[in-house]
Structure 1
C-alpha cells in the first residue's frame, strides 16, 4: 500500500485499456443519460457529432474503472473531495481508451494524519486524442504509526 509519504509531485500512473462498444454506449445511455446522441444511432447520425457518441458520464465511469485498477487499488485513499471534468472530444463505439494520471500537488497534513493530493488524469483514444481531462482533489492517509 502506498501512503502519502510514498508519493511525489510529478509521479505518473499509467492506466490500462478499455474498449467501449456500441451496445455498452446504448445500454448506459438508456439507463442514465437518455438523449438521442447517446441512444439512437439514426438521430445521432443527423446530430452535431455525425454519429453515436458515449455519454460523458459513461466516459467518466470508464475512467473510474481504469483509475481504481491503476491507482486506488494501491494507494491508501480516504475520499475524493472535488473533481473538475473536461470532455474535449467525443468517444465513439469501438474506441480504445487509455491514459495516465499524474500527481500535481501534495500537501501533507500531519495534524490530520492525511494529505491533500491533486491528480490530473487524461484519457485518450486509440489515436492519442484527449477525450477526458479530470482533476481530482483527494485525501490520502499518512503512514500509520508516524507521529
Structure 2
C-alpha cells in the first residue's frame, strides 16, 4: 500500500517506513542560508573554515525543510488533517555539500481522538541519515489522520 493512501486504521505502532534519497548541493545550502539563516558557516566554505565545522554546512532549518518535503512526497497521507506540532527536534550532525540524505519514519503511537471520532492521532519519530549512516536530524511529530469509519458509538 502506498503510505500516502493510508487512513488512521492503517497505522500500526512500531511500523517503519524508509523513504527519500536526496543529495544536498553547496548551491542550495548557500541559497537557503542567504534567505533564511545567514550565518557564516552556512554562507561559504571560507566562512565555515574558521568554525568548529571546518567548512560549509547546511542550516538545520534547511535540513528540516528537506525532511518536510520528503515527508510530503513519500509518507504523509492524503487523509491527513495537519499537525498540532512536533517535539524533540535535534540536529545531530552537520549536513555538508554532497551529502546524500535518506529518511525513516517510525510510528510510536496511533490512537483515536476522544473528542473527534472522525480522526486519530499518529505520533511518529522522523529521522534523517547521511550516506555514512550517521543520523543528522530527528524529531517526534503528531499528525491528525481521518478515520475510514468513525469510532463505534461515536454518535451516542
Question: How does the TM-score come out when normalised to structure 2?
Answer: 0.88
CA displacement at 1:34 relative to structure 2: 0.6
Say whether 1:83 aligns with 2:86. Answer: yes
The answer to whether the 8 Å contact 1:37/1:52 transfers is yes
For residues 73-128 of structure 1, give each alpha carbon's deviation from its aligned partner in whole angstroms, at most 9, with x where no partner exists: x4511011111210110000000000210100011126511111101011000000
Q: Any runs of at least 4 consecutive aligned residues in structure 1 with deviations exceeding 2 A, and if so which?
A: 144-147
Residue ranges of structure 2 left out of the alignment (5+ in a row): none
Alpha-carbon separation, structure 1, partners of 2:68 and 2:11 = 20
Superposition CA RMSD, Å: 1.5
Residue ranges of structure 1 left out of the alignment (5+ in a row): none
The equivalent residue for 1:139 is 144
For residues 40-88 of structure 1, give each alpha carbon's deviation from its aligned partner in whole angstroms, at most 9, with x where no partner exists: 221211111111100001000110111112211x451101111121011
The equivalent residue for 2:100 is 96
The answer to whether the 8 Å contact 1:14/1:70 transfers is no
Say whether 1:48 aligns with 2:52. Answer: yes
Say whether 1:120 aligns with 2:125. Answer: yes
CA displacement at 1:22 relative to structure 2: 0.2
